[in-house]
Amino acid sequence: MTALRLALVQLAVGAQKTANLVSARSKVLAAAKAGANMVVLPECFNSPYGTQYFSQYAEEIDTASPSESIKALSEMARDSKVFLVGGSIPEREKSTGDLFNTCTVWSPEGELVAKHRKVHLFDIDFPGKIVFKESEVLKPGNSLTEFSTPWGKFGVAICYDMRFPEVAMIAARRGCVGMIYPGAFNQTTGPLHWELLLRARAVDNQIFTAACSPALDRSATYHAWGHSTIVDPYARIVATTSDAEDIVYGDLDLDLIGNVRQAVPVYSQRRFDLYPDVSAAG
């Protein structure tokens, strides 16, 4: 199997849902034309990011009767023939009316292959900087998520989920070759932790990691960090960008995983007699 070309679409997201979907589609098609096999959209790519917006922009995820964003995502994947990690959208659960921050993953045939509801909600309080409480509006998901591709399995999680090492550790020990995170860090925690967390998840687990952010919009209520980034299993940055709209490409050589695990064999040196193997859970 040849290297996987991964593309992260750092989309400029605005207040018009349809315009966001049209713009996302054109970028996904452009990435496919540039040879991408897998394309990632940002967290909350169809709406501005903020608890005040989730209910207004929320959609049910029902492939039998697809709503606007679900139809658009399926068609984007099918028409560009890529695996599409469809960022996230605010999801409304039909039976309960509960809202979730949800990532859908689509096959090159346009079929829904995975759905991840953000499991760790973004509730933080940085005095004088940023207060954000997703849990005022959203419910957390209750499962970890992975999907299969011809290049191997990938774990998927959303933004704040990146801070919880167990998520990537469990995915890696269950055989995933990479973790994909649609995310939208901000101007406070972005410079502090975004790159550090991506490189940490990569070095701990000797896998690829990638996070895809919206572009920075100074007129929006939430100022995204941007800097969509791909990291290799040695924890080196493969590709990154600044905060403007952009597409970040990386060619993932899957052999690097075996190479680094041979050079630094932590996989065979773990001491499960001293601490539990978290990948055995769940």
Ligand X SMILES: O=C(O)CCC(=O)C(=O)O
Active-site residue, from 17, 27, 115, 118:
118
Does 185 bind ligand X (CB under 6 A)? Our answer is yes
Pairwise CA distance, residues 132 & 10, whole Å: 22
Cβ-count burial 141-170 (b if 16+ within 10 Å, e if not): beebbbbebebbebbbbbbbbbbeeebbbb
Pairwise CA distance, residues 81 & 100, whole Å: 28
Active-site residue, from 44, 159, 176, 212:
159
Residue 44 β-bridge partners? none
Residue 224 β-bridge partners? 186
Does 43 bind ligand X (CB under 6 A)? Our answer is yes
Site pattern 140..159 for ligand X (x: CB under 6 A): -------------------x
Q: Which two tokens stand for residue 96?
A: 């309960």
Listed ranges 19-27, 71-79, 180-188, 259-267: which one lies at the site for ligand X (CB under 6 A): 180-188
Does 9 bind ligand X (CB under 6 A)? Our answer is no
Whole-number CA gyration radius for the chain: 18
Q: By rule CB under 6 A, what count of residues binds ligand X? A: 10
CB of 127 within 8 A of CB of 221?
no
Active-site residue, from 17, 43, 91, 134:
43
Least distance (Å) between residue 149 CB and ligand X? 25
Listed ranges 50-58, 179-187, 199-207, 245-253: which one lies at the site for ligand X (CB under 6 A): 179-187
CA-CA-CA-CA torsion sign (248, 160, 174, 73): negative
**Cα dist. 117→79, 97, 139, 251 in Å?**
25, 15, 9, 28
Does 45 bind ligand X (CB under 6 A)? Our answer is no
Listed ranges 51-59, 92-100, 186-194, 262-270: which one lies at the site for ligand X (CB under 6 A): 186-194
Catalytic (active site) residue 159: yes
Does 139 bind ligand X (CB under 6 A)? Our answer is no
C-beta closer to ligand X: residue 166 or 277:
166
Catalytic (active site) residue 68: no
Catalytic (active site) residue 44: no
Least distance (Å) between residue 58 CB and ligand X? 16
C-beta closer to ligand X: residue 54 or 185:
185
C-beta closer to ligand X: residue 83 or 160:
160
Does 72 bind ligand X (CB under 6 A)? Our answer is no
Least distance (Å) between residue 199 CB and ligand X? 15
Does 184 bind ligand X (CB under 6 A)? Our answer is yes
Least distance (Å) between residue 86 CB and ligand X? 16
Does 163 bind ligand X (CB under 6 A)? Our answer is yes
Active site residues: 43, 118, 159
Could you list the residues that contact ligand X (CB under 6 A)? 43, 122, 159-160, 163, 184-186, 189, 193
